[in-house]
Amino acid sequence: MPDFRVTTLQVGSDLRVIRALCDGCDPARPCEEHSERPALWVLTAGAFVLRDRGGKHVIDPTQALLIGHDHAFTISHPAGPDTCIGFRGPLVERLVTSPLSGVARHVPLTPRRLAGLIEAVRRAERERDSFVVGEALAEITGEASPAGAAPARADRALAEALIHLLRVSFATQVSLAELADATGYSLFHACRVFRAVTGTTIHGYRRELRLRHALARILDGDEPLASVAAATGFASQSHLTNLYRARFGITPARTRTREGLRRLAA
């Protein structure tokens, strides 16, 4: 049997991300495997062949692989070792918009989308926020909206509803799925429409809200920065400081100095 070395990259209530390194050593006769829950796999090195009811599928870095619940398959490694990043959890299950019926689904990966997904995993680890990965997954598993299409009234209403929810719950750890449920739309549709209407992602919009709330609290008193971070939805003071400096060009502590205030006001 192939030997796997698995590293957990991210664990949350709605998403688990792992990196799996396989040595590519296949048994003489392939063993049938079953996926317990839907999963999406992206190869970052090598290739493998998956066989299921739909036939033979070659998986490499040009496309992701989406498999459903209790999916029966066998895998072989004619190209040798490979490295995969796997995504599981309720968030992935929500992105499976139709039953896969035992047949693997290929998801084309352009260089931009692959780079965006890998960068999103790294950002989520730094920022401790699964939103950015959820939106990247929604983008690659869904259909792109027509270029240049003006937002319909229903799309504007959906974006406004999401903005309202984000503004009243900016500091809470509400998930993308919960936001979508609150509007009555699918997770993918909510992500796609929000970006099309506002020009930014849900994750980016919430991050800006949190930073603006933090800025106001910092300017308006001497509350400890750790308390400001906790009150505005950041994982820690250092988490706040890193994003705050990137956004405003100054640290939270320096904001309270005369020079810092003048810099922000200029």
> Which CATH fold would you assign to the domain 4-121?
Jelly Rolls (2.60.120)
Give the mean pLDDT of 228-236.
Answer: 93
Pinpoint the residues of the chain covered by CATH 1.10.10.60: 206-265
pLDDT band at 36 (very low <50, low <70, confident <90, very high): confident
Residue % of the chain over a pLDDT of 90: 33
3-state secondary structure the chain: CCCEEEEEEEECCCCEEEEEEECCCCCCCCCCEECCCCEEEEEEECCEEEEECCEEEEECCCEEEEECCCCEEEEECCCCCEEEEEEECHHHHHHCCCCCCCCCEEEECCHHHHHHHHHHHHHHHHHCCCHHHHHHHHHHHCCCCCCCCCCCHHHHHHHHHHHHHHHHCCCCCCCHHHHHHHHCCCHHHHHHHHHHHHCCCHHHHHHHHHHHHHHHHHHCCCCCHHHHHHHCCCCCHHHHHHHHHHHHCCCHHHHCCHHHHHHHHC
pLDDT in tens, 72-110: 888 888 888 888 899 999 888 887 655 555 677 888 888
pLDDT of residue 94: 81
CATH number of 206-265: 1.10.10.60
Which pLDDT belongs to residue 88?
92
Q: Where in the chain is the domain with CATH 2.60.120.10?
A: 4-121
